Amino acid sequence: MYRGREEDSEGEESSALEDELSLYDPDAPARALSALNALRKSRQHYDAVLVAGGTEVAAHRAVLAAASPYLLEALSPAPVTTSPAPASAPVYRVEDVDADALRELVEYAYTGRVRVKDTLSARRLYRAAWRLRVESVRAHLADRLLKRLAPADCLEVRSLPDLSPHHLAQLDAYIAQHFEAVCETGAMAALPVVRIELLREGPIQGVTTAGGEDAPHAIADAALTWLRSHAPEYDLEELCSRTHLLYVAERGSLRDCGELPATRGDAPELQEYRREAAQRAKRSRDAGPASAARPLPGLELGARCARPACAVLAARAASGGSTRALLAVRGRLAAARVSWRDVAAGGATGTRGALASDTEPDSAERRAHLATGRCAHGIAVLDGRLVVCGGYDRARVLRTAEQYDPSTNTWSALPDMRCARARFPAAVLNHTVYAVGGSDGHTELDSVGALQNGSWQAKAKLPLALSYAGAAVDPEGENLYIIGGWAGGVNLKRVLKYSASEDKWTEAPPLNAGRSQCSGVWWEGSLWALGGCDAWHCLSSTETLTINGGQSWSPGPPLPTARRSVGGCVWGSRLISAGGSDGAASLRRTDWLETRDGTWKAGPNMRKARAGVGLAVVGGVVYAVGGFDGKEFLSCVECLYSPDGEWTSLCVPPANIRSIANHSEKKENGVHSD
Across 230-244, 412-426, 451-465, least confident range: 230-244
Contact of 623 with 616, CB cutoff 8 Å: yes
What is the crossing angle of helices 119-132 and 135-146, to 10°? 150
In this prediction, residues 3-17 reach a mean pLDDT of: 65
Structural domains of the chain sorted by starting position, each given as residue range(s) with its CATH number in brackets:
28-148 (3.30.710.10), 378-640 (2.120.10.80)
Q: What is the pLDDT of residue 219?
A: 65
Q: Residue 211: pLDDT above 60?
A: no
Tell me the pLDDT band of 293, cut-offs 50, 70 and 90.
very low
Q: What is the pLDDT of residue 265?
A: 57
d(CA 361, CA 377): 30
Instruction: Report the percentage of the chain scoring pLDDT > 90.
Output: 44
d(CA 633, CA 610): 9
Nearest of 388, 495, 379, 486 to residue 439 by alpha carbon: 486
Say whether pTM exceeds 0.85: no
Q: Residue 344: pLDDT above 50?
A: no
Q: What is the pLDDT of residue 657?
A: 41
Q: Residue 285: pLDDT above 90?
A: no
Q: In what order do the strands lie in the sheet with 311-317?
A: 254-256, 243-248, 193-200, 332-342, 323-329, 311-317
d(CA 389, CA 421): 9
Pairing status of strand 91-93 against strand 48-52: parallel
Q: Residue 82: pLDDT above 50?
A: no
Please tell me which of 305-319, 437-451, 641-655 the model is most confident about, judged by mean pLDDT.
Answer: 437-451
Tell me the pLDDT band of 246, cut-offs 50, 70 and 90.
confident
What is the per-residue pLDDT across 609-626, written as a single tens digit (0 to 9) for each?
A: 999 999 999 999 999 999
Q: What is the 3-state secondary structure (H, E, C) of 268-296?
A: HHHHHHHHHHHHHHHHHHHHCCCCCCCCC
Q: Residue 362: pLDDT above 60?
A: no
Please tell me which of 28-37, 48-57, 196-205, 625-634 the model is most confident about, judged by mean pLDDT.
Answer: 625-634
Contact of 430 with 478, CB cutoff 8 Å: yes
Which has more pLDDT, 172 or 212?
A: 172
CA atoms within 13 A on the CB side of 510: 9
Q: Residue 449: pLDDT above 60?
A: yes
Q: Residue 314: pLDDT above 60?
A: yes
Q: Residue 128: pLDDT above 50?
A: yes
Nearest of 188, 181, 186, 158 to residue 171 by alpha carbon: 158
Average pLDDT for the chain: 81
In this prediction, residues 2-14 reach a mean pLDDT of: 60
In this prediction, residues 544-568 reach a mean pLDDT of: 91
Provide DSSP, 651-668: SSPPTT---GGG-----G
Give Cα 194 distance to the centre of its chain: 12
Q: What is the pLDDT of residue 122?
A: 93
Tell me the pLDDT band of 354, cut-offs 50, 70 and 90.
very low
Q: Residue 289: pLDDT above 70?
A: no
Q: What is the pLDDT of residue 144?
A: 94
103 CB neighbour count, 10 Å cutoff = 15
Nearest 10 degrees: Cα torsion 398, 399, 405, 409: -40
Across 3-17, 133-147, 422-436, 624-638, least confident range: 3-17
In this prediction, residues 509-528 reach a mean pLDDT of: 95
d(CA 257, CA 198): 10
